[in-house]
Structure 1
Amino acid sequence: MKQIPRRKDIKNKEPLAELLNFAEKDDLVKLVLGLAARDNSIRRECLDTLKETVKVSNVLKEGAASSALLSLWRELEPELAELDEYGGGDHGQEDDVSEYLSELCDKLDETTLSKNDRDELLEEVLRYIQSGNAGMDDFLYDVAYATCKNDDDLRDLAERFEALKSSWPTDHARRIYRRIGDHKKFLALRALTMKYGMDYYDLATFYWETGEKDKALDIAIKGMKSGEGRMDELRLFLAERAKESGDRNAYLDYLFLQKTDRLALSSYKEFKKECSDKEWKEYEPRIVDLLEKSDNVQSLKIYMHRKEYEKAIQCFIKISNHSYYRYMDSDILQIASRLENRYPEEILTFHKSSTGNLNSSTSRKDYRFKAEAVKRVRHILVDVMKKPADWRKYVLPIKMNNMGRPAFQEEFAKVIPEWKELK
């Protein structure tokens, strides 16, 4: 039995340290287990520390590591349950839960759970995946996959996903079966949903990889006719197959469909670069036809690239009528500056329309925005059209009508060079 210390021996010492020093082993074990049972963070800290500092078998260390990860899950689970109950939470709470789940996932990559711990963890994770109400699905799927260390684990996970009888988990199950080489299960689940272009792409690439190339091409072509939604991968798959087989015409046809699906200046340049001069003469009219049917910033950029300025200004006028383009798109302002010398009247009209209501009270931020728009009007009238008198005629009423708005006057004075001198 340990000797009880005298009062003078414990003076100025940490009481808890002294008590622990003289406590019996059984009392300490009972104390730690009680604390760990009430607080999972304490339990995890004990497990992580003791498995590194106490000399025990590898089996016991592995069990401790597994149990520590389950404790980490139990730490985060109450907040996850709250997110699930209310369909999300504030950004701070969501960030906390996502960080916990990321930490759990990282540690699972380095640790093999015991069967019982894995079963318990997956049962709870899959319950939240099935609910889908916490907004943490991506993290939860990552955790589920991180528990898998071999194909048997993956098959077990696929079967659990499949048992949920829900679309997205079933998609994951199908991908797992393909990954582990269970072709029969993959095809059975794949046959359940053949609606979108990506569905046909998935099946076509499967047959291609397994050597059934004719069937792969048949599926891809069928998908081009019947598939809905995103078709990018399917078109590129067929384009690549045509290129490999030496069918130049088919290759360009599929590439044309891909590059013009969301026609942009970059895709226009890419397709033209791919074509010979003769091939470009065949496809160019089709692109021109698409441009004439589409009035957007990308069409405008292509017209500018082609130096078709008359078409560009007509396109510019149409799209600048939309408030989004007028106020938000920097590309529009850049193109306006490139067109201003050729079409000063049209660009002047555009800049005037961008000023908004110049006779109303608003925030300083809005005043600055309006001042920048008025400054662009000044540039066209004074620098481009050489009409300073017209500028004065335009701007003087703006200043006079807002004399009762000090913030307006201050913000405009910061932007318009001669604002204070205007009388």
Structure 2
Amino acid sequence: MAQEVSLQDLCKELEKEELIELVKHLADQYMDIDMAVMEWYVLQKGTEKQNPLSDKLLWEYWERAEEIISNFNDYGGGPEDLEYEAYEYLEKITSLLPQYSIPTEEKRILINRLFMQYAIGNSGFDDVLMDTIYELCESDSDWKHVITLLQKEPDDWNQTLIMRIYKDQLQDGEAYLQLRLQSLKYGMDYWDLAAYYISQEQIEKAIEVAEAGVENGQGRKTELFAFLFDYYADQNEMNQIQVVVDAAFHKQSDIGLIRERAFVYFKRKNEYEKLKNMLVRAFRTDYRDKKHYDDFNSMKEHLSAEDWAEVQEEMIGIVQKESMIDYLEICYDMEMYDEILKIILEPSEYIYIDWDSFADKLVDQYPREIIEYYWNKGCLLIPSGNRKRYKEAVKHFEKARDIYEKKLNEYDVWQTRLEALEIQYRNRRAFLDEMRVFG
């Protein structure tokens, strides 16, 4: 048997000049060998800050990434493998920067070429291109150059980037404020300004801006409401807290957040009437992410017996209208089992809701009714079925069988129904194949 020869053994036999010739030969044969060798050298030997090898690698990475990104800009996207490749090259650029002090002139050229692809805005690489530009910026002069580029492509997002550079990178509050005060449309615009004033310890101005944002801002206002409520709670300004609560309900904004904060505050201050009124008011309002079941029980716990008796029926009606799942949970707690059974056995109005968890809870009280629930669910899947639907139907039939066997001890009845079902669909071979689990 011939002795195995490793690549390492072969290289050991070569003289220095022969190794050089080997590397040159491989570079001619395989396009990425030259870059791989340079990367290996940098990893093994390190580089000086001005090493031309780092410069060579930097531009090699960018030119390869640029070619891909340019094509993506032309066609509005491209293959996923090329997308990953471009991301990898950009990551290599940022990982190389700490090792290499790129000359100012070259840096500007690279920033300009990155920005050119960013400005086209059709590649899907916009965020990572701007992130790479940011990584290249080391001085105020670099940041001001980026601002100049952004100003040549005026839009709302670029204006936001300019403001952030003034505020966070150049610490030029005057320039930031000049732009920010001219651009207050959304709630988050107001919050950006309020947060700046907070960072400058100008709380009164922050309060003024936050209140204006609650009144006039569009879209998200969560941070504004949270800031105002927490500030007035810290100051124990009850009247102003009520103003914030009223504003949330009036604007139909962040009611859940305000409800939670107001609940904690009023409870801590033993303000029962305010607590009661706020809980009832919130429950009467339909808002996003409302926790019907939890809020219902919270009211039940914290309202007096007399006050709860006055509103309980109304609150149940609200839950029934807005969240049937939570309504059935409440019915179960109140032992209204007939009501649950009525709803889950007539599912036409709620065809896309899965009632199985409630059916399982009622199996001891209503075994025969729950058998029909699962049997009917399974049968509905058969007529227009496929393998996937047949498998799902079998799961429902298995639950019906288990009730027959374990709750009613009527295995013979189950067998009779099973045989009749298989006869009814005897021409559906895939269905019968799935039903073989029953023997």
Report the Cα distance in structure 1 between the residues aligned to 2:243 and 2:116, rounded to whole angstroms. 47
Query: Is residue 85 from structure 1 mapped to residue 74 from structure 2 by the alignment?
Result: yes
Query: Is residue 402 from structure 1 mapped to residue 425 from structure 2 by the alignment?
Result: yes
Structure 1 SS opposite 2:284: helix
Deviation at 1:86, TM superposition (A): 1.8
Aligned partner of 2:315 in structure 1 is: none
Aligned partner of 1:8 in structure 2 is: none
CA separation of 1:246 and 1:377: change in aligned 2, threshold 3 A: farther
Query: Is residue 285 from structure 1 mapped to residue 274 from structure 2 by the alignment?
Result: no
Q: Which amino acid aligns with 1:364?
A: R
Q: Which amino acid aligns with 2:114?
A: V
Aligned partner of 1:131 in structure 2 is: 120
Report the Cα distance in structure 1 between the residues aligned to 2:284 and 2:222, rounded to whole angstroms. 22
Q: Which amino acid aligns with 1:173?
A: I
Aligned partner of 2:162 in structure 1 is: 173
Q: Verify the 8 A CA contact 2:382 2:389 in the aligned structure 1.
A: no
Deviation at 1:251, TM superposition (A): 4.8
Report the Cα distance in structure 2 between the residues aligned to 1:201 and 1:393, rounded to whole angstroms. 69
1:14-64 CA-partner distances (Å, limit 9, x unpaired): 9xx6794599xxx99xx89x97xx96x5564465456678899x4532x53
Q: Verify the 8 A CA contact 1:174 1:190 in the aligned structure 2.
A: yes
1:354-411 CA-partner distances (Å, limit 9, x unpaired): 5474343643222112222344455677777999898678655533222222321232
Structure 2 SS opposite 1:84: helix
Q: Verify the 8 A CA contact 2:233 2:265 in the aligned structure 1.
A: no
Aligned partner of 1:295 in structure 2 is: 322
Alignment partner of 2:185 out of 195, 199, 202: 195
Deviation at 1:70, TM superposition (A): 2.1
Deviation at 1:242, TM superposition (A): 1.8
Q: Which amino acid aligns with 2:138?
A: K
Across the aligned residues of Structure 1 and Structure 2, the Cα RMSD in angstroms comes to 4.8
Q: Which moved more, 1:278-287 or 1:379-388?
A: 379-388
Alignment partner of 2:93 out of 96, 104, 110: 104
Deviation at 1:269, TM superposition (A): 7.8
Report the Cα distance in structure 2 between the residues aligned to 1:118 and 1:160, rounded to whole angstroms. 14
Q: Verify the 8 A CA contact 1:263 1:298 in the aligned structure 2.
A: no
1:231-265 CA-partner distances (Å, limit 9, x unpaired): 2222212222222322356558758959x96788x
Query: Is residue 208 from structure 1 mapped to residue 203 from structure 2 by the alignment?
Result: no
Q: Which runs of 5+ in 2 are unaligned?
A: 1-9, 286-291, 293-317
Alignment partner of 1:117 out of 78, 101, 106: 106
Query: Is residue 153 from structure 1 mapped to residue 142 from structure 2 by the alignment?
Result: yes
CA separation of 1:47 and 1:402: change in aligned 2, threshold 3 A: same
Q: Verify the 8 A CA contact 2:233 2:241 in the aligned structure 1.
A: yes
Structure 2 SS opposite 1:60: coil
CA separation of 1:189 and 1:347: change in aligned 2, threshold 3 A: farther
Report the Cα distance in structure 1 between the residues aligned to 2:49 and 2:434, rounded to whole angstroms. 72
TM-score (norm. length: structure 2): 0.68
Q: Which amino acid aligns with 1:60?
A: Q
CA separation of 1:148 and 1:364: change in aligned 2, threshold 3 A: same
Deviation at 1:210, TM superposition (A): 2.1
Report the Cα distance in structure 2 between the residues aligned to 1:412 and 1:19, rounded to whole angstroms. 73
CA separation of 1:19 and 1:285: change in aligned 2, threshold 3 A: closer
Q: How does 1:335-414 map to 2 (within 5 A)?
A: 335-338=358-361, 351=374, 354-355=377-378, 357-360=380-383, 362-376=385-399, 397-414=420-437
Report the Cα distance in structure 2 between the residues aligned to 1:315 and 1:280, rounded to whole angstroms. 36
Q: Verify the 8 A CA contact 1:102 1:139 in the aligned structure 2.
A: no
Deviation at 1:125, TM superposition (A): 1.6
TM-score (norm. length: structure 1): 0.71
Structure 2 SS opposite 1:208: helix
Q: Verify the 8 A CA contact 2:259 2:278 in the aligned structure 1.
A: no
Report the Cα distance in structure 1 between the residues aligned to 2:370 and 2:188, rounded to whole angstroms. 44
CA separation of 1:169 and 1:282: change in aligned 2, threshold 3 A: same
Report the Cα distance in structure 2 between the residues aligned to 1:413 and 1:270, rounded to whole angstroms. 57
Aligned partner of 1:236 in structure 2 is: 226
Query: Is residue 95 from structure 1 mapped to residue 84 from structure 2 by the alignment?
Result: yes
Alignment partner of 2:213 out of 223, 227, 232: 223
CA separation of 1:97 and 1:269: change in aligned 2, threshold 3 A: same
CA separation of 1:226 and 1:396: change in aligned 2, threshold 3 A: farther
Q: Verify the 8 A CA contact 2:167 2:176 in the aligned structure 1.
A: yes
Report the Cα distance in structure 2 between the residues aligned to 1:20 and 1:273, rounded to whole angstroms. 79
Deviation at 1:72, TM superposition (A): 0.8
Aligned partner of 2:299 in structure 1 is: none
Deviation at 1:201, TM superposition (A): 0.9
Report the Cα distance in structure 2 between the residues aligned to 1:325 and 1:338, rounded to whole angstroms. 16
Q: Which amino acid aligns with 2:225?
A: R
Report the Cα distance in structure 2 between the residues aligned to 1:263 and 1:395, rounded to whole angstroms. 52
Report the Cα distance in structure 2 between the residues aligned to 1:314 and 1:250, rounded to whole angstroms. 48
Q: Verify the 8 A CA contact 1:351 1:374 in the aligned structure 2.
A: yes
Q: Which amino acid aligns with 1:363?
A: N
CA separation of 1:359 and 1:44: change in aligned 2, threshold 3 A: closer
Report the Cα distance in structure 2 between the residues aligned to 1:340 and 1:360, rounded to whole angstroms. 27
Q: Which runs of 5+ in 1 are unaligned?
A: 1-12, 327-331
Q: Verify the 8 A CA contact 2:337 2:362 in the aligned structure 1.
A: no
Q: Verify the 8 A CA contact 1:242 1:250 in the aligned structure 2.
A: yes
Deviation at 1:284, TM superposition (A): 2.4
Aligned partner of 2:296 in structure 1 is: none
Aligned partner of 1:183 in structure 2 is: 173
Q: Which amino acid aligns with 1:117?
A: E
